[in-house]
Amino acid sequence: MAGGNGFVCRTIYDFESPRDLSGLYYKCHVWFALDERHFTSGEKGLRLEMYPPAAYPGLSLKDLKGPWRKVVQVRLDIFNPEARDIQMTVRIDDRDDNPPYEDRVNERVLIHPGWNNLALDLRRLVTSGTKRLLTPEKICAFMIFLGHPKRPVTIFVDNIRLCKEN
């Protein structure tokens, strides 16, 4: 599937069926549902509701080992129904031992009102403390979350894809 700008992208989550929900980690204070109103691919997207008092509620993907060979970008579409920006964090681990904050990528992103098309260039991401370049072919965890929300927040996610250069 073409991804534009010289990239070929493969969708890994499009949230078209309940089977896609089985690839997500479930935690307290987070609610997932398929949604037929907000999507960019197919006929459905993911409704993601995050509630206090959870410290870091959000979306965590399972079974990510393997498909990252030659991947240079992760792209995903996020709809923010609010009238204000939402600050979130993208966490990417390239070590499977739950690395400390200093040795994983923690990229802050602003989700503006309406549709946002995030494109994370894996060749430029560095870990938070050690400033080590991410090793894309070793990625084993991908999360997007809020930090200590003070109120419930809902976003819609669709079309998570891995992109290689043409």
Enumerate domains of the chain plus CATH numbers. 2-165 (2.60.120.430)
Torsion sign (Cα): 75, 78, 84, 88: negative
Query: 146 CB contacts (<8 Å, ≥6 apart)?
Result: 50, 56, 57, 58, 86, 87, 88, 89, 153
Give pLDDT, residue 1.
52
pLDDT tens-place string over residues 41-90: 999 999 999 999 999 999 999 877 667 889 999 999 999 999 999 999 99
Give pLDDT, residue 69.
83
Torsion sign (Cα): 144, 150, 154, 155: negative
Residues 160/74, Cβ–Cβ less than 8 Å: yes
